[in-house]
Structure 1
Amino acid sequence: MAAGCTCSTRRARQRVRRSSNSARVNVAIDLVERLDRVLPQTQCGQCGFAGCRPYAEAMARGEAGVERCPPGGDAGARALAKLLDVPPVPYDRSRGEHKPPIVALVVEEDCIGCTKCIQACPVDAIIGGSKHMHTVIEPLCTGCELCVPACPVDCIVMIAP
């Protein structure tokens, strides 16, 4: 601060700096929100991130490309590129192909109630108590298949909705 600067001037400059920093943070949050809305919300992890929101945050920071989402495919990559104002690139097929919609089904008579599928589900689509059979809330299931390998008795199958 310059010598002779009054306290009120100093406070005003600090407010302007805080306001400027706040505006930059709000713009970044807004971009993350817009990117997250474009993503399919399957929370499948095929992009290499723990879910759609972490992937959106990485894209907003410039740490991930737009081509990583199998459920979004080429159309999703184009939409993300448009939001980020970068050249569109085709979806990276080495990450897997997007499949038709599927949902999990717990074969209840085989379920031992271990809760491992509940813990694996990123969208809380499976309900049930310990040592009681579990069931899938179909409208919430994204078909990510993360519950299938978690089941020790192989009582989860994927079916068309």
Structure 2
Amino acid sequence: MSPLARRIHATLPQTQCTRCGWPDCAGYAEAIVRGEADINQCPPGGAEGIERLACITGRPALPLDTQRGTEAPRTVAVIDEAWCIGCTLCLKACPTDAILGGNKHMHTVIEPWCTGCELCVPVCPVDCIELVNASGARTGWNAWTPEQADTALRRYSARQQRLARTAREHEERLEDKARAKLADLPTATHGAEGAEADRKRAVIEAALARARARREARG
């Protein structure tokens, strides 16, 4: 991330709500630097957020793009535990791991970690999640503090690291299984059986090569 993108990123509220049109606040910051996004696409930051971005980028302040949402009070998610079926879809959607629960067990929201991103609401199959006002009449940055933004970013970053580690470990287990299958294939069989073994060997070796390429692409 460039120095300018880092400054922009540090100015965003870190709700990770994706309403800006990018997968997270960091993506939005980089898009602004590349000229692919305007500075008025962050509803949680509101008018003050736009002014802050205008000062950093030197661009003129614009009215909030209401197609992305409106400036509103800060909200937190509340789960109606009587209706929760423990499907875990909201856990997967929450960018800060602010929802606690397990498969087929009741879920609950850890309020200090909830950013009000709304991402859990549409994935709930029984419509048991509600967003409630947590800041009264205060909106935008008046409803959100730098400390809350820092907490949200730390939790989002930790979640991304955990997901990457889990994906890497899963991929490594699959590679180990593939190598084991490769080792079990006969090496000197002729005829149809040998041709089938060669075919399987080629498929497994190609899969391992793709896995190596993915690791190298990730650095």
| Global fold match (TM > 0.5) | yes
Query: % of aligned pairs identical?
Result: 55
Match of 2:80 among 107, 112, 132: 107
Question: TM-score by structure 2 length?
Answer: 0.58
How far did residue 43 of structure 1 move? 1.3
How far did residue 30 of structure 1 move? 2.1
Larger helix share, 1 or 2: 2
Partner Cα distance (1:133, 1:127) in 2: 9
Q: Secondary structure at the match of 1:119?
A: helix
How far did residue 88 of structure 1 move? 2.3
Q: Does 1:42 align with 2:21?
A: no
How far did residue 137 of structure 1 move? 0.9
Q: Does 1:80 align with 2:53?
A: yes
Question: TM-score by structure 1 length?
Answer: 0.77
Amino acid at match of 1:91: L
Match of 2:41 among 68, 71, 74: 68
Partner Cα distance (2:47, 2:83) in 1: 39
How far did residue 92 of structure 1 move? 1.8
1:58-109 per-position Cα deviation (integer Å, ceiling 9, x unaligned): 1122221111111112221121121112222222223221221110111112
Structure 2 counterpart of 1:51: 24
1:40-68 per-position Cα deviation (integer Å, ceiling 9, x unaligned): 11111111111211101111222211111
Contact 2:64 2:70 in 1 (8 A): no
Match of 1:96 among 69, 73, 79: 69
1:102-133 per-position Cα deviation (integer Å, ceiling 9, x unaligned): 10111112111110011111221112111111
1:119-160 per-position Cα deviation (integer Å, ceiling 9, x unaligned): 111221112111111111101111121111111111111123
Q: Secondary structure at the match of 2:30?
A: helix
Structure 2 counterpart of 1:148: 121
Q: Which runs of 4+ in 1 moved over 3 A?
A: none
